[in-house]
């Protein structure tokens, strides 16, 4: 009697792969090998009936959404978008400040009360966008490099300093406004008050 079938030969025969005539003859003559081929065939049928799909937990999708949102096109893009947010904040602030300057300068034309309302609204809108942009910057601060974080902070403080300066012009001699401006300048330029 020839040697019993190997595991690979049993697997091949169970899958319908033709063996050499000698090995096929052995499989036909040897009850033990024939049984193993049949068992393997049944086993493979049973395995094939297992559902490859298993329902994934729903929360993974939101976690994935958060993960892919962190780095849409690589880390550098994230930094750039944060600076863009800061730049938008400054532009909004500048728009608000210019609107305010136009109002205090008494621009010609139109009713003074109406102009006041429009200017105040402009400043309010600019201020809101500024706060939102800074909040976004703060939310993502932990994902920025230390250098980007420092730069973002400087940009924000520069905008805040400008706002405090304009606020001082608006309110006149006011110690509280002056203190706010001084504190922001200190945080921005450092205790020595050096240029950035």
Nearer CB in complex with another protein: 69/191: 69
CB of 46 to another protein, least distance (A): 4
Q: Cβ 80 to another protein, closest distance in Å?
A: 14
- CB nearer another protein, residue 54 or residue 195: 54
- Nearest approach in angstroms of CB 149 to another protein is 23
d(CA 86, CA 151): 10
Q: How far apart are CA 106 and CA 181, in angstroms?
A: 25
Give me the least distance between CB of 179 and another protein, in Å please: 46
Q: 65 vs 113, which CB is nearer to another protein?
A: 65
Residue among 36 and 161 whose Cβ is closer to another protein: 36
Q: Least separation, in Å, of the C-beta of 71 and another protein? A: 7
Sites of contact with another protein (CB under 8 A): 6-8, 10-12, 14, 36, 38-40, 42-57, 60-61, 63-65, 67-69, 71-73
Tell me whether residue 61 or residue 139 sits nearer to another protein (CB atom). 61
């Amino acid at each position: 009697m020839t040697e019993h079938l190997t595991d690979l030969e049993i697997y091949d025969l169970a899958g319908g792969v033709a063996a050499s005539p000698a090995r096929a003859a052995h499989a036909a003559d040897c009850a033990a090998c024939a049984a193993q081929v049949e068992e393997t065939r049944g086993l493979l049928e049973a395995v094939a009936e297992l559902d490859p799909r298993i329902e994934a937990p729903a929360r993974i999708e939101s976690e994935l959404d958060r993960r892919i949102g962190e780095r849409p096109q690589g880390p550098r893009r994230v930094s750039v978008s944060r600076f863009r947010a800061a730049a938008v904040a400054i532009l909004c602030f500048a728009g608000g400040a210019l609107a305010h300057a136009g109002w205090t300068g008494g621009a010609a034309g139109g009713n003074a009360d109406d102009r006041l309302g429009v200017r105040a609204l402009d400043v309010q809108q600019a201020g809101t966008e500024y706060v939102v942009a800074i909040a976004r910057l703060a939310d993502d601060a932990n994902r920025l490099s230390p250098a980007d974080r420092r730069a973002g902070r400087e940009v924000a403080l520069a905008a805040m300093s400008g706002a405090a300066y304009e606020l001082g012009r608006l309110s006149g001699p006011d110690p509280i406004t002056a203190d706010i401006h001084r504190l922001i300048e200190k945080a921005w330029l450092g205790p020595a008050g050096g240029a950035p």
